[in-house]
Amino acid sequence: MSFIQTISDFFESIFKRSSPEVQKKQLLKKLDSEIKEFNPLICKSGMLQPNFGEAIYGLYKNCKPLDNLFSVTVSLTDLPRQRRFEAQLVVTAYSAADQEALAELSFEQRKQAVLAEDKNPDRVYIRQRQQMERLLKELNTDNFKKMDMDILNLRQLVELCHYSFIPFLQAFDSSFLPGDMSYKPSYIEVPVAKALNLLEDLYYQTSGLKLTTTTGEAVLALAQLRKGSELTESEKKSYLSNLKKIRYILSKVLSSEKLKTIIRYCKQDSTYEPKIASYTGSPRQDFANMIQSRFDAEEQRIKTEIQDARISEDVKALFPDMSIEEVGNYNQTYNEMLQTEASLGFKWILPLRVLKTFLKIYLTPPAKTLLNDIVIEGFFNNPTYKSNFSSIVYAAINSEEILEAFESSFGNDKPNSIAVLEGYIKDSKKDKDFFKRLEKMVNDINNQAYENLQNIVTNLCDLYKQLGELLADAKKPSSEIISNLKVLMMSSRNRDSTSFLEANYNNWKIFFEIMKNYVIINIGEINHE
């Protein structure tokens, strides 16, 4: 600043003290004075000093090993994995007894407990639900409430460690080689104006970050989880040393206040407020939602698996020496994917497979031809009976088309597109909104599956009753329901179909015994028959 300018500013400060311009200059001068007082000197005359570059390098070196740890544990780029590891951190706040109680609620242990209870498995389910409710209630204690802030703070550290320091370091040393820890940078002065965006990014990521003893404990816990065994003292010391050095740099050299002062001076605006990272939500509640959702899904899975195993002998009796049909993409492959990736699943796979196979084996095209002939050519003694019979027959005959429509709904550009489902599974790892979409899609598909199952089985149940009446009527000296029934059933075209339906009529009862485990059936009528 020239001597004349100094004199001008002096008189301006006396006679124009109240003017906004003078006040602005005074505030900027104050910022300049503050910057000059920084120890160590990191900025001078609008230039970032080598000390600043050295501090950035210190952050880079010490964040790197932590970033390597976080990238395979709580990285924010993989939400399911992040939640899984954060959940394990939450679990550490439980007592040893409660941790054991939580372990007892694993899928395998729950299933074995149910299988061990022969007489009243519902008691086991109730006991397990009560245990889960107690563990969830414990999350509302003060000990757990503190974990919300601890884990949110950890998330900020994770982001800082993943921050790209390279552009900053290359501003100070254009020859800087990323990843080469043996390289010794040399630092030049860097104009603040040139590095302003980098400064704001750094401020954004570091402002408000607190590195506490709890942070260190969380880092060590994650490292132990990744390793799968106890850490050595050397390993513990290394991680804690990284944290200590980061904390020193961010508190003593590149503190948020120092960064903000430099940014304000560069912008010539003493009131400027740079943006800061915001971490909201409740990891504790996320954990509660996750284990509750998993608990409910696994209870349904246990019931389904036990139920499916219970009917296995009936399935073998119904379809001896043959494999049962698959129902398109509503299959075990995608079910396992959903269970593994999202604690979701397809509920009605086996009954739909049994249904599809039953229609193929027992309601054959020749059998449908016979039924159609009876509707069209039969001389019904009661017009109302004919109308009812026709509706039942056509509803049953169309069953395969309903299943085929359901299977085709998984095609591209269809309501249940498997490509969309796979996309939701993938994207749910990055965005919880996609998990909600996935959950809704799976629920909708299951509802469609059940509705198809219930409707078709109901139609088949009605047909079963009608077939019983017709087979009985055909054996009478004179048919009471359809006067030409014997002629139709014993014609050259339908004789084999009649024999087939009669020979396999009892197998329909086996089918309904299987289906009663999944849908509502009037068993009384079937048993009566």
> 190: part of which helix (H) or strand (E)?
strand 190-191
Distance CA 42, CA 47 (A): 8
Residue 28, pLDDT above cutoff 80: no
Report pLDDT for 183.
Answer: 85
* CB-based contact 286:151 (threshold 8 Å): no
Higher pLDDT, 527 or 180: 180
Owner of token pair 């001008």: 8
Average pLDDT over residues 133-158: 93
Report pLDDT for 467.
Answer: 94
pLDDT tens digits for range 171-213: 999 999 887 778 888 999 999 999 999 999 999 999 999 999 9
Report pLDDT for 5.
Answer: 57
Quick one: pLDDT band at residue 433, thresholds 50, 70, 90? confident
Region for residue 321 given its phi and psi (left: phi exceeds 0; alpha: psi -120 to 50; beta: otherwise): left
Quick one: pLDDT band at residue 23, thresholds 50, 70, 90? low
Residues 6+ apart with CB under 8 A from 111: 302, 305, 306
Range with top average pLDDT, 290-294, 308-312, 352-356, 472-476: 352-356
Residues paired with residue 482 on neighbouring β-strands, in sequence order: 380
Q: What is the DSSP letter of 230?
A: P
Distance CA 473, CA 234 (A): 89
SS3 44: strand
Owner of token pair 């402002």: 207
Report pLDDT for 180.
Answer: 78
Report pLDDT for 24.
Answer: 66
Residue 19, pLDDT above cutoff 90: no
pLDDT tens digits for range 316-360: 999 998 899 999 999 999 999 999 888 899 999 999 999 999 999
Residue 6, pLDDT above cutoff 60: no
Report pLDDT for 32.
Answer: 83
pLDDT tens digits for range 72-126: 999 888 887 888 899 999 999 999 999 999 999 999 999 999 999 878 999 999 9
Distance CA 101, CA 132 (A): 9
Mean of pLDDT over the chain:
91
> 21: part of which helix (H) or strand (E)?
helix 20-37
- What contacts 24+ positions apart, CB below 8 Å, involve 250-258? 250/59, 250/206, 250/209, 250/211, 253/40, 253/42, 253/51, 253/55, 253/58, 254/42, 254/52, 254/55, 254/56, 254/59, 254/202, 254/206, 256/203, 256/206, 256/207, 256/208, 258/38, 258/42
**What is the reported pTM?**
0.73
Domain ranges of the chain: 19-267, 315-528
